[in-house]
């Protein structure tokens, strides 16, 4: 383990953490069903840190997992004796395009941060999860469902493009038109086909007022 820590500190500009408290924090997820204990946590300062860490893990045969808010339910953001990439350090919202209705952000930004940046401009993402503390990259890796999914689909359905670091450390821009096979595999792929580092996502005009109804039904027949 000391060798891994020393190597990573030499390779990247970001933070390499291995204190017992931090490792304990990253040994469980929101689901609370599984516990796995990584060797080291890397907080990348930039996409090159992600590249270097993935290349190192690949060369050494070490398991690596991207993670942000850790809201996976069945241990998908955990690994045993490997490296966890804490993507929350890559959280800059880079552009909001009011004319073409999209935003571009680093993957570690939370949906709450996106909403706070977009709503003052009269814009909102088509689909929002019920909890805004989850990350943009995380929900694109899992799907991302919300109250508007009946109309707009999942958050992954509203993705226009993603920057991905592949298993061999290559940075690839993917969209439905460009590198489309990788695009559709990485979306909802739980980090198994590449690590999302940047997302371009649709926006829509935000209404001035909304009304939410919560309806309770006594039986299936009444609901249907």
Reported as a single tens digit per residue, the pLDDT across 157-183 is 999 999 999 999 999 999 999 999 999
Q: How far apart are CA 114 and CA 107, in angstroms?
A: 11
For the CA atoms of 163, 166, 168, 173, the dihedral, rounded to the nearest 10 degrees, stands at -30
Hey, what are 55's tokens? 């290349």
User: Residue 36: which of 2, 70, 6, 61 has the closest Cα?
Assistant: 70
**pLDDT beyond 90 at 209:** no
Percent of the chain past pLDDT 90, that is, above it, reads: 94
Q: How far apart are CA 103 and CA 205, in angstroms?
A: 13
pLDDT of 69 = 96
| CA–centroid distance for 114 within its chain | 13
**pLDDT beyond 90 at 211:** no
Alpha helices in 95-179, H assignment, sequence order: 111-118, 136-142, 149-152
pLDDT tens-digit series, residues 104-125:
999 999 999 999 999 999 999 9
pLDDT tens-digit series, residues 40-67:
999 999 999 999 999 999 999 999 999 9
**pLDDT beyond 70 at 129:** yes
pLDDT of 1 = 63
Q: How confident is the model at residue 150 (pLDDT cuts 50, 70, 90)?
A: very high
User: What is the number of helices (H) and of strands (E) in the chain?
Assistant: 8, 11
């Amino acid at each position: 383990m000391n060798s891994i820590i020393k190597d990573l500190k030499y390779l990247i500009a970001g933070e390499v953490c291995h204190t017992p408290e931090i490792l304990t924090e990253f040994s469980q997820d929101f689901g609370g069903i599984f516990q796995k204990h990584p060797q080291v946590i890397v907080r990348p300062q930039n996409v090159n840190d992600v590249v270097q860490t993935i290349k190192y893990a690949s060369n050494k045969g070490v398991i690596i997992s991207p993670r942000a808010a850790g809201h996976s339910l069945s241990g998908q953001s955990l690994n045993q004796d490997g490296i966890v990439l804490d993507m929350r350090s890559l959280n800059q919202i880079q552009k909001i395009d009011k004319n073409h209705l999209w935003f571009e952000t680093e993957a570690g930004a939370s949906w709450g941060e996106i909403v706070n940046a977009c709503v003052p401009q009269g814009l909102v993402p088509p689909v929002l999860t019920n909890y805004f503390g989850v990350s943009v990259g995380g929900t694109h890796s899992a799907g991302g469902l919300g109250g508007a999914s009946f109309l707009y689909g999942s958050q992954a359905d509203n993705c226009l493009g993603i920057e991905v670091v592949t298993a061999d450390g290559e940075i690839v821009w993917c969209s439905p038109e460009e590198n489309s096979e990788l695009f559709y595999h990485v979306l909802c792929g739980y980090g198994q086909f590449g690590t999302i580092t940047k997302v371009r996502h649709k926006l829509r005009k935000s209404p001035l007022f909304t009304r939410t109804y919560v309806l309770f039904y006594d039986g299936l027949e009444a609901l249907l």
